[in-house]
């Protein structure tokens, strides 16, 4: 792969002061993070370079020793290491500890501090792109997996009126609802099985799909057979899948006149927060978005 394809165009000159950043996961070579973050370093003139490492579970400890030895400044952590990595760090931010997963590490002069930017990234995207004020709103979340966890915690901080978690496996929804209530003090967090979806949707201001249903290559999937006519006409249909940019759920909601919000923003903003934690500079979000859209084979006009 040439330098340009790696996002390392002129301006990312590497010298003896360049700081190293990376993403780790298993698998990892599908990740768009190196392209996105190298663009961010280039745009802001930060002397940094970002790459991807394929790290298996049995090598996590050795990897962290490497971070310490080499002074790697920042790390993003993706599936399947977001929980296991926590036991290797010196400090974990309170909200990452509460939700039980880390996706960003800051190496602060040898002290490794873990954060989670997934949920706050999603909420920043939702507020900037579709629903500016979530206070007092009724929110329905489909799914109770890893991504849902961070999102529910971040949503609770916005003080919505209610959060209803609808999941195929109701036990997982119940566990998540109890955990969020306990840690955030938000009283009205409910858990229901798929049978409760219609009633929950009829009252909702925002309905968010956090399940994997609809993701490429199974793009005709509809999570829990949701019928978009259940959503109020002014409700927002939101999604965290970004491949395709518009899932069947969003396409049907848009055709029925509902406002829609796609999953790309969550990916961009989780990276933007990581960039900001590492550098202290505002992330160049439009440039980052442009790079990811190009990498996915779209033009910047493909999504608004």
Residues noted as catalytic: 82
Binding to ligand NAP by residue 224, rule CB under 6 A? yes
Q: Cβ distance 25 to 78 under 8 Å?
A: yes
Binding to ligand NAP by residue 119, rule CB under 6 A? no
Over the window 41 to 80, marking each residue x when it contacts ligand NAP by CB under 6 A and - when it does not, the resulting string is ----------------------------------------
Segment interacting with ligand NAP, rule: CB under 6 A, options 14-22, 41-49, 63-71, 166-174 = 166-174
Binding to ligand NAP by residue 241, rule CB under 6 A? yes
List the 259-261 sheet strands across, edge first: 189-192, 162-166, 138-142, 206-209, 236-239, 259-261
Give the one residue of 33, 38, 167, 291 binding ligand NAP; rule: CB under 6 A: 167
CB of 9 to ligand NAP, least distance (A): 25
List the 104-108 sheet strands across, edge first: 48-54, 19-25, 74-77, 104-108, 111-115, 91-92
Segment interacting with ligand NAP, rule: CB under 6 A, options 198-206, 227-235, 240-248, 272-280 = 240-248
161: number of CA atoms within 13 Å, CB side?
A: 7
Binding to ligand NAP by residue 145, rule CB under 6 A? yes
Give the one residue of 126, 147, 200, 237 binding ligand NAP; rule: CB under 6 A: 147
Q: Which of 116, 139, 108 is nearest to 126 (CA)?
A: 139
Rounded CA separation 20/71 (Å): 8
Binding to ligand NAP by residue 240, rule CB under 6 A? yes
Contact residues for ligand NAP (CB under 6 A)?
118, 143-148, 167-169, 172, 210-213, 215, 224, 240-242, 263, 266-267, 270
């Amino acid at each position: 792969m040439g330098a340009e394809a790696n996002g390392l165009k002129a301006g990312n000159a590497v010298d003896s002061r360049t700081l190293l950043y990376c993403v780790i996961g298993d698998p990892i070579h599908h990740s768009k993070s190196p392209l996105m973050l190298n663009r961010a370093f280039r745009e802001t003139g930060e002397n940094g370079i970002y790459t991807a490492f394929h790290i298996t579970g049995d090598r996590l400890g050795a990897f962290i020793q490497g971070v310490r030895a080499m002074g790697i400044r920042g790390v993003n952590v993706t599936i399947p290491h977001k929980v296991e990595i926590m036991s290797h760090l010196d400090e974990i931010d309170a909200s990452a500890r509460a939700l039980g997963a880390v996706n960003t590490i800051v190496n602060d002069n040898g002290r490794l501090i873990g954060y989670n930017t997934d949920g706050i990234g999603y909420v920043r995207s939702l507020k900037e792109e579709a629903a500016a004020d979530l206070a007092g709103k009724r929110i329905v979340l489909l799914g109770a997996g890893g991504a849902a966890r961070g999102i529910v915690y971040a949503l609770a901080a916005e003080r919505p009126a209610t959060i209803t978690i609808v999941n195929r496996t109701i036990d997982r929804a119940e566990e998540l609802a109890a955990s969020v209530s306990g840690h955030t003090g938000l009283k009205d967090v409910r858990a229901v099985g798929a049978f409760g979806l219609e009633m929950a949707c009829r009252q909702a201001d925002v309905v968010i799909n956090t399940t994997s249903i609809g993701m490429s290559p199974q793009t005709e999937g509809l999570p829990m057979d949701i019928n978009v006519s259940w959503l109020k006409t002014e409700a927002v249909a939101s999604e965290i899948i970004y491949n395709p940019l518009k899932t069947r759920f969003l396409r049907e909601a848009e055709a029925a006149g509902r406002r829609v919000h796609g999953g790309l923003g969550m990916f961009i903003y989780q990276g933007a927060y990581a960039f900001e934690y590492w550098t202290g500079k505002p992330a160049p979000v439009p440039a980052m978005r442009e790079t990811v859209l190009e990498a996915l084979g779209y033009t910047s006009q493909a999504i608004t």
